[in-house]
Amino acid sequence: MTEITLLNKHKLFNGEQRRYQHYSHFNHCNMTFSIYLPSRALQGYALPVIYCLAGLTCTDENFSIKSGAQRFAAEWGIVLVMPDTSPRGAEVANADSYSLGQGAGFYLNATQQPWAQHYQMYDYVVTELPELIEKHFPVTSQRSLCGHSMGGHGALMIALKNPQRYLTASAFAPIAHPMNSAWGKEAFSTYLGNNQAEWAAYDSTELIQLYPPSLPILIDQGSVDEFYPEQLHPQDFIVAAKSKGANIRYHLREHYDHSYYFVSTFIESHISFHAEAFGL
């Protein structure tokens, strides 16, 4: 059985915010994750889970410290799981660019060296981490995804590729068409090589054209986000989604930027969105 080591815990809204470390057999290194357990989970009741994916340069703690999601997860009775954004360690390949390497795993399975040995974040988030969570904590099989920026890319992409595993997906300012983004082109060419068919397998705008989702999707985008629309391209995704009749809600939020101030303003509506799908 995979062992997890408790690094710290804090009481929060009558529940506990915890941080753990474990060895990842997919990424071949130690990984950390944060988890919020509402009071009902501490009492042993099995609760649904939202996997909260963070963006470039972030760790598992950005969402847990800055989003304010725990207040609403406590009210609804939902467990929050916050993975790290990449493998880390002295033995793990890195790059000088903030948009590559440690802190920038892009939630894909790298095929190119030296990245392939450790950067298997897609399998980690989809398979290894949920198995770990479901083994060690009182959770149900109900799962949803929420993400910010690169994490928004991860949430949409993973949900589209695995609609049988997730009830809903939501995103704040997602990198929604990475093949049309400088960030995405850099990451995909580095981690996956030059075969753009492999890129398309991790691009939400491309995926939704092939596999229109049955699950509901919620996206919030700030109108003064410094990365909108050149890096994020939510409009490409929205056009593709609507052409397929997807169940999607999109809000362009006037005068909001790319920060966690934006995320924390609208996080309640995202938690409520997922709670509705959980039947809470």
Amino acid present at 196:
Q
**Is 99 noted as a catalytic residue in this protein?**
no
Catalytic residue among 225, 233, 270, 274: 225
Instruction: Say how far apart CA 161 and CA 48 lie, in whole Å.
Output: 20
Considering the candidates 153, 177, 233, 258, report the single residue annotated as catalytic: 258
Tokens of residue 199, six digits: 């890129």
Residue 190, CA distances (Å) to 109, 193, 197 in order:
12, 6, 14
What is the distance between the alpha carbons of residues 150 and 226, in angstroms, rounded to a whole number? 15
Task: Please state, in angstroms and rounded to a whole number, the distance separating the CA atoms of residues 256 and 186.
Answer: 27
Task: For tokens 């060690």, name the residue.
Answer: 136
Annotated catalytic residue: which of 149, 170, 181, 204? Answer: 149
Helix (H, G, I), strand (E, B) or coil at 23: strand
Residue among 172, 159, 153 at smallest CA distance from 106: 153
Q: Establish whether 149 is a catalytic residue.
A: yes
Rounded CA-CA distance 171/234 in Å is 10
Q: Provide the total of helices (H) and of strands (E) in the chain, helices listed first.
A: 11, 9
User: How would you list the strands of the sheet with 15-24, edge to edge?
Assistant: 4-12, 15-24, 29-37, 79-83, 47-53, 139-148, 169-172, 217-222, 248-253
- Burial (0-12, 13-18, 19+ Cβ within 10 Å), 173: buried
Q: Is 220 a catalytic residue?
A: no
Cβ pair 93, 189 in contact under 8 A: no
Provide the token pair at 240: 């593709």
Catalytically active residues, by annotation: 149, 225, 258
